[in-house]
């Protein structure tokens, strides 16, 4: 069987940065540690005046194409995942293709283009679409370009405001990939939920606390569904477990739940018995509430054990680094978690070839998906070529007043003129609206 997966990836961060504990929290009258310790966030990225989901996506894609020496003729499909689209008909992928055609010889007339929507999980769904297209043998030797791009803004004053972010991830999906091969096995947890939605509105309606419960419930179902096809999971099987990361504190909860599930009836549960007892079993309780309370008590103890803390530090913590510096990138979020982990592995000099990742994607509304990935022999060259630290360090810091201005600039309901904070260089920029209200872009040398 052909091996299919991610051949290469690149990111493009919004070029502005807001310091959450030192700039945002004081104005909101909040303890900075709510951000650093509670949510696990330090800074978040915002798009400058001339940036949007198209420029960020096109810039990430151009970096990827340049690095891999690709031309439009090599790409048979462009799938964009976003929940920040500004057009209900014309997909963002056509805008991005239009940008790329300004700078490459040839065009993308032959390429199938689309736009995927299902909150944050759309990025992984696009990956799946590309995977299936190649597995079906319809790709005629061409690769797919998958771009997850979002400007994750909340209404000012909404609790979600703390978790905002903006950026794009571009991934090349191909046969015999250089980075990771995707498993055929996957598991789903999917249900009609009203926890986070944007019914014809730019900023989400959010039931924040419930959204966290829904995330955990769907993720547990996806794990069980994955196990039904791939067999039981065990913490020792996976070098890293990148989760969708709306903010790192959410992953702390998901990881604990995952560890408890994976260790049930294993040597690890036996080892922990003397210290914290065995996991509560549903059949030993008269009511579901009693059982849940016992589970909560067990988890409170589990998270203090050395076994859990060691596993969390090795397998989960390294996935959170980029997210803690950029905020929620919605569709790109789980993909920067994977990238974080592989960068950490490269920094530590780990040999990752053949190692497994378990990837937990999630989108509100709601659906979770779990699949495994196998790291390929050439992974280190791919990871060393991505300039995450340089990009994040090059961001321009903004004050709280600047933040409010930039939030207004990107608010579709407002029309305000604001000077850009940075000078574009060698990148696509938004230049204004055309005669049919389409957005227009050009490449600035």
Q: Decide if residue 26 touches ligand HMG (CB under 6 A).
A: no
162 binds ligand HMG (CB under 6 A): yes
Q: CB burial class (10 A; 0-12, 13-18, 19+) of residue 161?
A: middle
Distance, in Å, from the CA atom of 247 to the CA atom of 219, rounded to the nearest integer, reads 16
> Smaller CB distance to ligand HMG: residue 91 or 123?
123
Among 19, 83, 178, 369, binds ligand HMG (CB under 6 A): 83
> Pattern of binders to ligand HMG over 206-235, x per CB under 6 A?
x-xx-xx--x--------------------
Q: Does 328 bind ligand HMG (CB under 6 A)?
A: yes
Choice between 58 and 119, CB closer to ligand HMG: 119
- Toward ligand HMG, which CB reaches closer, 38 or 114? 38
Report the SS3 class of residue 79: strand
Indicate whether 303 belongs to the interface with ligand HMG (CB under 6 A): no
CA pair distance 102, 431, nearest whole angstrom: 14
Burial level of 393, CB count in 10 A (0-12/13-18/19+)? Answer: exposed
Angle between helices 92-103 and 53-68 (to 10 degrees): 50
Angstrom CA distances, 137 to 133, 134, 309, stand at 7, 5, 44
The Cα 301–Cα 242 span in angstroms is 24
Q: Identify the DSSP state of 247.
A: S
| Closest C-alpha to 427, from 15, 34, 116 | 15
Name which of 155 and 269 has its Cβ closer to ligand HMG.
155
83 noted as active-site residue: yes
Catalytic residue chosen out of the listed positions 10, 42, 51, 83? 83
Catalytic-role residue among 244, 371, 407, 410: 244
Nearest approach, Cβ of residue 241 and ligand HMG (Å): 16
Nearest approach, Cβ of 40 to ligand HMG (angstroms)?
A: 9
The CA distance from 204 to 150, in Å, is 13
246 binds ligand HMG (CB under 6 A): yes
The site that binds ligand HMG (CB under 6 A) totals a number of residues, namely 29
Contacts with 329 (C-beta within 8 Å, 6 or more apart), sequence order: 45, 148, 150, 152, 165, 166, 167, 168, 169, 323, 336
Catalytic residue, chosen from 120, 239, 373, 410, is 120
Binding mask 95-134 for ligand HMG (x = CB under 6 A): ------------------------xx--------------
Which of residues 293 and 442 has its CB atom nearest to ligand HMG in the complex?
A: 293
- The answer to whether residue 37 forms part of the interface with ligand HMG (CB under 6 A) is yes
Considering the complex, what minimum distance in angstroms separates the CB of residue 356 from ligand HMG? 24
| One of 3, 28, 34, 90 touching ligand HMG (CB under 6 A) | 34
Shortest Cβ distance from residue 315 to ligand HMG (Å)?
19
Residue written as token pair 């067990």: 298
What lies within 8 Å, CB to CB, of 332 at 6+ separation is 11, 123, 148, 149, 150, 167, 168, 169
Are 35 and 41 in contact, with CB atoms under 8 Å apart?
yes
Known catalytic residue at 244? yes
Enumerate the β-bridge partners of residue 118.
120
| Binding track over 342-381 against ligand HMG, x by CB under 6 A | --------------------xxx-----------------
Residue 177: alpha-carbon gap to chain centroid: 20
Per CB under 6 A, the list member of 5, 21, 57, 160 interacting with ligand HMG is 160
Q: Pairing mode, if any, of strands 4-13 and 16-19?
A: unpaired
Q: Which of 108, 403 has the CB closer to ligand HMG?
A: 403
Instruction: Point out the residues that are catalytic.
Output: 83, 120, 244
Q: Which residues bind ligand HMG (CB under 6 A)?
A: 31, 33-34, 37-39, 83, 119-120, 159-160, 162-163, 196, 206, 208-209, 211-212, 215, 244, 246, 249-250, 328, 330, 362-364
């Amino acid at each position: 069987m052909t091996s299919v997966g991610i051949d290469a990836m690149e990111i493009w961060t919004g070029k502005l940065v807001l310091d959450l504990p030192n700039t945002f929290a004081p104005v909101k009258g909040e303890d900075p540690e709510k951000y650093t310790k509670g949510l696990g966030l330090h800074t978040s990225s915002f798009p400058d005046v001339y940036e949007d989901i198209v420029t960020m996506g096109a810039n990430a894609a151009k970096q990827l194409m340049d690095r891999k020496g690709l031309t439009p003729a090599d790409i048979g499909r462009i799938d964009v995942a976003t929940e920040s689209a500004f057009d209900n008909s014309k997909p963002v992928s056509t805008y991005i293709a239009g940008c790329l055609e300004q700078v490459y010889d040839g065009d993308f007339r032959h390429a199938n283009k689309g736009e995927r929507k299902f909150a944050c999980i759309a990025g992984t769904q696009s990956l799946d679409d590309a995977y299936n297209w190649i597995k079906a043998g319809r790709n005629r030797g061409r690769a797919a370009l998958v771009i997850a791009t979002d400007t994750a803004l909340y209404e000012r004053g909404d609790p979600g405001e703390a978790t905002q972010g903006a950026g794009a991830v571009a991934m090349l999906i191909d046969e015999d990939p250089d980075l990771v091969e995707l498993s055929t096995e996957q598991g789903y947890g999917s249900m009609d939920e009203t926890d986070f939605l944007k019914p014809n509105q730019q900023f989400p309606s959010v039931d924040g606390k419930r959204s966290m419960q829904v995330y955990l419930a769907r993720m547990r179902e996806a794990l069980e569904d994955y196990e039904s096809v791939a067999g039981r999971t065990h913490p020792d099987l996976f070098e890293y477990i990148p989760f969708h990361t709306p903010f790192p504190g959410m992953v702390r909860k998901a990881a604990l739940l995952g560890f408890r599930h994976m260790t049930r009836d294993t040597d690890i549960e036996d080892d922990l018995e003397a210290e914290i007892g065995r996991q509560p079993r549903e059949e030993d309780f008269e009511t579901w509430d009693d059982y849940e309370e016992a589970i909560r008590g067990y988890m409170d103890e589990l998270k203090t054990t050395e076994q859990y803390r060691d596993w969390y530090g090795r397998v989960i913590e390294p996935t959170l680094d980029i997210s803690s510096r950029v905020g929620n990138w919605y569709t790109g979020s789980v993909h920067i978690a994977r990238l974080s982990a592989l960068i950490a592995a490269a920094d530590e000099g780990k040999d990752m070839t053949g190692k497994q990742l378990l990837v937990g994607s999630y989108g509100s509304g709601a659906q979770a998906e779990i699949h495994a990935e196998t790291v390929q022999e050439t992974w280190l060259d791919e990871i060393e070529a991505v300039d995450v630290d340089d990009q994040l360090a090059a961001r321009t810091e903004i004050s709280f007043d600047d933040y409010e201005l930039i939030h207004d600039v990107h608010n579709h309901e407002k029309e305000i003129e604001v000077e850009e904070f940075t000078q574009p260089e060698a990148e696509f920029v938004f230049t204004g609206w055309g005669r049919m209200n389409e957005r227009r872009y050009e490449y600035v040398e």
